[in-house]
Amino acid sequence: MALYRSSHSIRRAVANSWRLSLKPISAAYNSCDWSYFNENNDNNWCRFNFVKRPFTSGSPHVKFSNTDTSTSSYSTLHPLHEGPSYMRAAVFWEPNKPLTIEDFQMPRPKANEILIKTKACGVCHSDLHVIKGELPFASPCVVGHEITGEVVEHGALTDSKIVERFPVGAQVVGAFIMPCGSCFFCSKGQDDLCESFFAYNRAKGTLYDGETRLFLRSNGKPVYMYSMGGLAEYCVVPAHGLTVLPNSLPYTESAILGCAVFTAYGAMAHAAQVRPGDAIAVIGIGGVGSSCLQIARAFGASEIIAVDVQDEKLQKAKTLGATYTINARNEDAAKKIKEITGGMGVDVAVEALGKPQTFNQCVQSVRDGGKAVMIGLTLSGAKGEVDINHLVRRQIKVIGSYGGRARQDLPKLVKLAESGIFNLKAAVSRTLTFEEADKAYKDLDKGNIIGRAVVEIM
């Protein structure tokens, strides 16, 4: 009888505590099963696996799942006063208006999502296109889409394998294309074409249940998310868009792995399929273009030609792998590329700027049978012209490439950076504070940032 009373008391204590909140824990805890009847729904049974831990050390920990234990997921009970109750984020309100830093309710992750304490966020032209109204996007929204940070919490019912891979406290880097992992393209390994990402995030500014995770503290109104909405003190990221960042890599410089390097790798590995000995031209040496130079070098390209209109960027390009530089303001870029390559043209030309003029330069720069890879975004509806007969007769391949494939590529990029093959410190030219986020995009718009800038949020 005494044992029965003790068991009943423990069950009720767990149930009462569970109503406070749920927070994931590592699957490494040793636990034993207790069945508990849900008093609020007589037809609903839940299983709690009570962790062997004294109550005196704090709130009890449980594993919560439905009766099918094959898809177990983990949550931690914790007092509501633990951690901050709100956070700050940089909000885009309408085109050509300054970003403002606003207070938000603390975002809550859902199943298979992870709450990240953001450490750094890169400054990308894609955000700038949204800020200038060149790319239509839901507003108000939080921009910023290449981040590093620390795992804080897993959503309720998150798969146990995800919890084990990304335990609380783990350092992570996030890709801007956040694959759902289950759509037609994700099931084929083509994360860069994830249907949910384009249908929900890019089309509606939400995650994949059709809802944002961001709400203003003052009035509870929703704010949309450009990717994970990384220019914030905390952000929610679908787990398939993350990979672990080793302690040997710094938070600040590593942020660019999630877009600048990620986009460059997707272009070189998947679209262009660069091989050792290939001749490569990169048109537009910004954050992504300069990353293309380093990736081309890593892949063993024999000739790497950098094209831009700023001498300062071209000088920087030489330190990142460029064997030749061309200032397109002073000479015909396509003609000069043909001259450098003995009249042939390059095996692969990459357009990383997003302008009709450079689109045409890219196509004209490749050899017969070569590949012109387009990765630069531009004003919505802009058109690029191409000589159809030249395309047909010379078997020119024009290929679009938006980014890499998070689950397979992001871990590879971390290894490239960890080994020093990709030089992160050389790629990041400037750091700014969180309060300087709006200034960062204004400087980017003026062409005052060489390479990549990163906002530190730590």
Based on the fold, state whether residues 386 and 420 are members of the same structural domain: no
For 331-336, the CB contacts below 8 A with 24+ separation are 333/283, 333/307, 333/361, 333/365, 334/361, 334/364, 334/365
How many helices, marked H, and strands, marked E, lie in the chain?
A: 15, 22
**3 state SS of 280:** strand
DSSP tag of 398: E
Measured between alpha carbons, how far is 11 from 379 in angstroms, rounded to an integer?
Answer: 59
**Looking at the domain assignment, is residue 100 inside a domain?**
yes
C-alpha Rg value of the chain to the nearest Å: 25
Query: Per DSSP, which regions of 167-278 are E strands?
Result: 171-174, 214-215, 222-225, 234-238, 242-244
Q: Which CATH number goes with the domain that contains 395? A: 3.40.50.720
In angstroms, the CA 285 to CA 338 distance is 19
Q: Is the domain of 107 the same as that of 252?
A: yes
Handedness of CA 443, 444, 449, 453 (dihedral sign): positive
pLDDT score at 82 = 64
Q: Please indicate, yes or no, whether residues 239 and 126 belong to a single structural domain of this protein.
A: yes
The verdict on 193 and 295 lying in the same domain is no
* pTM of this structure: 0.82
Residue type, 30: N
- Assess if residue 12 is contained within a domain: no
* Cβ neighbours of residue 50 closer than 8 Å, sequence gap 6 or more: 10, 14, 31, 32, 33, 34, 60, 62
The secondary structure of residue 266, as a DSSP letter, is: I
The pLDDT tens digits of the residues spanning 297-349 come to: 999 999 999 999 999 999 999 999 999 999 999 999 999 999 999 999 999 99
Domain end marker among 357, 385, 400: 400
Based on the fold, state whether residues 95 and 217 are members of the same structural domain.
yes
Low-confidence ranges of the chain (pLDDT < 70): 1-82
Count Cβ atoms within 10 A of the Cβ of residue 322 and give its class: 0-12 exposed, 13-18 middle, 19 or more buried: buried
Decide if 39 is inside a domain.
Answer: no
Question: Tokens standing for 382?
Answer: 């802009």
pLDDT of residue 34: 32
**In terms of domains, do 320 and 451 share one?**
no
Domain contains 3: no
Which of 370, 400, 430 terminates a domain? The answer is 400
The helix (H) or strand (E) run that includes residue 102 is strand 100-105
Q: Which two tokens stand for residue 8?
A: 């009943």
Per-residue HEC secondary structure of 140-186 comes to CEECCCCEEEEEEEECCCCEHHHHHHCCCCCEEEECCCCCCCCCCCH
H-helix or E-strand spanning residue 409: helix 406-419
Contact predicate 252/457, CB 8 Å: no
> What is the rounded distance in angstroms from the CA atom of residue 30 to the CA atom of residue 35?
17
Domain containing residue 116: CATH number: 3.90.180.10
According to the model, what pLDDT value does residue 57 have?
32
Number of domains comprising the chain: 2
Q: Check whether residue 204 and residue 293 sit in a common domain.
A: no
Asked if residue 345 and residue 246 are part of one domain, the reply reads no
Assess whether 118 and 234 both reside in one domain: yes
Domain containing 446: what range? 86-259+405-456
Q: How far does the chain reach from its first CA to its final CA, in angstroms?
A: 54
Supply the DSSP symbol for 107. P
Amino acid at 194: C
For 201, phi then psi, to 5°, come to -70, -55
C-beta neighbour count of 443 within 10 angstroms: 16
Residue 145, in any domain of the structure: yes
Smallest CA-to-CA distance from 114 within 195, 175, 168 is with 168
- H or E segment and range at residue 388: helix 388-393
Return the closest-CA partner of residue 304 out of 275, 324, 318, 276. 324
Does residue 13 fall inside a structural domain?
no
- Specify the residue for token string 């990304």: 166
| CA 332 to each of CA 62, 131, 137, 310, 327: distance values in angstroms, whole numbers, following the listed order | 67, 32, 36, 15, 9
Handedness of CA 142, 144, 146, 148 (dihedral sign): negative
151 domain residue, yes or no: yes
Token digits for 440?
């960062």
Q: Are residues 228 and 144 in the same domain?
A: yes
| pLDDT recorded at residue 222 | 98
243 Rama class: left (phi>0) / alpha (psi -120 to 50) / beta: beta
Distance CA 95, CA 441 (A): 13
Q: Does 53 map to a domain? A: no
The one-letter amino acid at 137: F
* Same domain, yes or no: 395 and 409: no
Closest CA to 122 of 297, 3, 287: 287
**Cβ atoms 301, 279 nearer than 8 A:** yes
Which residue has tokens 């929204």? 141
Residues 6+ apart with CB under 8 A from 59: 17, 20, 77, 78, 79
Residues 311 and 236 in one domain: no
Beta pairing class for 346-351 and 366-374:
parallel
